[in-house]
Copies of this chain bind each other. A is one copy, B any other.
């Protein structure tokens, strides 16, 4: 199968964009991506949009028809949704469409405009629709509560400590302070993280990613056409997706994510790599516990040792494995349906040595890891420069 190449990217800074709209944010991201790829919008043959909940956040479904034509890309379009993994799923569908021969090129957009709701409490409820609405959200278990259950179980089973989890936040803020597009560009101390207020015990404020607005876009084509647009295309060498039961009570072990294991196996097999070949990775740290579990599930360390691995500094920029050089969801921000595309854009820049002060030095193989809900969906993609 011919590889898929990324030939251009564009995004907004992540933040609280009260002065802009879903439509306005995507216009910015798409126009930047088009400029980056130096492509005539008329040459873009299809559009795939990842968004978790524009219906609830913005009272707007059918954004595939809203966004594409408005930005000058009047191609067949559809939206893909798998909660916070929507962006990565949209990229996968674009890859399928091109590999199947339906189109030669695609615009892939991730967008979430989360600040349109009047009450911030409504945002937590809206996000909760990615859990089992009847058996989790409906009985008061919002996402901080669900990840608190996972964190408590992990502490109980493996003896992981609050200090270990806090180290994830500190490291991601260190990286995010170097990222001009990050929502929070400031370092924090272990003390700040560990003394921050409790959200859902044992999860504290700095264990949580924020509520964010953002839009991100990439333009993809097949390998044989890539050099038409850029001298430095980035190739997707492997992709995998996994799905598991949506509710925590349906899973035999909530200290691991089966979906991650399945997605990693498929993606790494396709890319013909093992965990040892990964130079850097953007992982889905919606809460610090999620990054810890992911480090273990991908196999960067032994099961139960993810927190210790982080506290020892082995995930810092240019250490053993650079994890979340962008700052991750924690510091860069988490516009949910857009996050998967922001991860891809970070990997794109890192592989092209365009990441400025947060540039990783070993940068031959980059990976993205994007989950939906409390881990019922996972998408993993592998990227390289190609030779």
| Complex contact B246–A76 (CB within 8 A) | no
Q: Which of A28-36, A99-107, A185-193, A346-354 contacts B (4 or more CB under 8 A)?
A: A99-107
Q: Say whether, besides A75-B243, A76-B241, A101-B1, A82 and B96 are in contact (CB < 8 Å).
A: no
Instruction: For A241, list chain B residues within 8 Å (CB).
Output: 76, 78
- Assess whether A261 is interfacial by the CB under 8 Å rule: no
* In the bound complex, CA of A68 to CA of B259 (Å): 13
Are A82 and B83 CB-contacts (below 8 A) given A62-B376, A65-B243, A244-B74?
no
User: Contact: B80 with A244, CB < 8 Å?
Assistant: no
- Of the listed stretches A49-57, A153-161, A194-202, A324-332, chain B binds A49-57
For A381, the chain B residues whose CB sits under 8 A away are none
Q: Total interface residues on A, using CB and 8 Å?
A: 62
Asked if A315 CB lies within 8 Å of chain B CBs, one says no
**Contact flags A45-74 to B (C-beta < 8 A → 1, else 0):** 001000011011011111011101110001
A228 at the interface (CB under 8 A from B): no
CA of A75 to CA of B138 in the docked complex: distance in angstroms? 26
A335 within 8 A of B: no
| Alpha-carbon gap, A47 to B250, bound state (A) | 19
A92-128 interface mask toward B, CB cutoff 8 Å, 1 = contact, 0 = none?
A: 1101111111100000000000000000000000100
Separation of A48 and B82 alpha carbons in the complex (Å): 11
- Asked if A96 and B102 sit within 8 Å, CB to CB, the answer is yes
A65 and B250 form a contact (CB under 8 A): no
**Residue on B nearest A52 in the bound complex, by CB:** B61
Answer whether residue A133 sits at the interface, using C-beta atoms and an 8 A cutoff.
yes
Report B-chain residues with C-beta under 8 Å of the C-beta of A23.
134
Of the candidates B58, B60, B137, B243, which one forms a contact with A76 in the assembled complex, judged by CB atoms under 8 Å apart?
B243
Q: Which residues of chain B are within 8 angstroms of A56 by Cβ–Cβ distance?
A: 55-56, 61
A80-B82 contact given A69-B244, A246-B69, CB 8 Å threshold: no
Greatest chain B CB density within 10 A among A61, A77, A129 is at: A61
The reply to whether the CB of A372 lies closer than 8 angstroms to some CB of chain B is: yes
| Nearest Cβ on chain B to A267's Cβ, whole angstroms | 11
Question: A62 touching B130 by the CB < 8 A rule?
Answer: yes
Out of B58, B97, B132, name the residue touching A133 (CB < 8 Å): B58
Q: Which residue of B lies closest to A246 (CB)?
A: B65
The distance in angstroms between the C-alpha atoms of A65 and B375, with both chains bound, is: 10
A100 partner, pick from B21, B70, B100, B246, beta carbons under 8 A: B100
**CB of A209 within 8 A of chain B?**
no
Q: Does A81 contact B (CB under 8 A)?
A: yes
Task: Say yes or no for A167: interface residue by CB 8 A criterion.
Answer: no
- Is A333 close to B, CB under 8 A? no
Contact B78 A81 (CB under 8 A): yes
A242 at the interface (CB under 8 A from B): yes
Alpha-carbon distance between A55 and B126 when the two chains are bound, in angstroms: 8
Name the contact of A262 in the complex, choosing from B64, B76, B95, B137 (C-beta under 8 A).
B76
Q: Which residues of chain B have C-beta atoms less than 8 A from A98's C-beta?
A: 100
Residues of B within 8 A of A262 (CB): 76
Residues of B within 8 A of A97 (CB): 93, 96, 100
Residues of B within 8 A of A62 (CB): 52, 81-83, 129-131, 246, 372-373, 376-377
Known: A61-B129, A74-B244. 6 other contacts (CB 8 A): A60-B129, A61-B130, A62-B376, A93-B93, A99-B100, A99-B101
User: What are the 9 A-B residue pairs with the smallest beta carbon separation, nearest first?
Assistant: A65-B376, A99-B100, A62-B83, A76-B241, A65-B246, A100-B100, A60-B133, A62-B130, A96-B96
